[in-house]
Amino acid sequence: MEKPNRKTILITGASRGIGYAVATSFAQNGYIVYANYNKHPNALNQLSEQFSEDGYTLIPIHGDVSCKKDVDDMISKINGVDVLINNAGISQFKQFIDITEEDWDHMMSVNLKSAYLCTRSVIPYMIHNKWGRIINVSSVWGVTGGSCEVHYSAAKAGMIGFTKALAKEMAPSGIQVNCIAPGVIDTDMNRDLSESDLQRIKEQTPIGTIGLPEHIAEAALFLVKNDFITGEVLNINGGFYI
């Protein structure tokens, strides 16, 4: 089957939050969007039906992206990935002394190994076409480190190193690799923050508010469209650093 003359994008962890906003934005901008989920397809299924009526293409696709078999099965159902956004991730708030080996391994598997598996699976197609875009979603804590989130910070810092090294290796093949490091964003991942915590974060943020998933989606779209950015970490955090 001949591929339509539109770029195909795969977004991992797209069932909610940042991934959902990115999937929505790219579909509305004319991309063929494969929106990955693992456990919660309902919102994506509803969005897919709505977008189909509006002439947009968003296809929910299941897979545990920390599992090689799931990733291979998922990619086999897609007719080539032009743009990959490694967004899938989990967080956990624990003192370092309480982090178990299972906690550590699970964090690294979902937040870092998944990026390796998905990238490794799609990159031969990009190399063949001499064109591709890969965006890895890190975190402000991957840049600065977060107290009581050592394993999360380590995994997200790993995403930054992964980005910078891969960008150098893939640039001669026409593939640009960049990273977005969001600050505190209004998503389910941060819903456990108390009102006093949120107020403190807002006061420490020069812009005076926390971010929205749509802010990250806009940045991802910018990075995909730009032809002269690679190996960069784009900090979208309202000026928030500790």
- What positions carry a catalytic annotation? 152
Sign of CA dihedral 104, 115, 159, 197: negative
| Distance in angstroms (rounded) separating the CA atoms of residues 71 and 223 | 24
Look-up of token digits 């093949």? 173
Q: Are 24 and 221 in contact (CB under 8 A)?
A: no
* Phi-psi region at 60: left, alpha or beta (left = phi > 0; alpha = psi -120 to 50): beta
Q: Are 211 and 192 in contact (CB under 8 A)?
A: no
CA angle 131, 157, 232 (to 5 degrees): 40
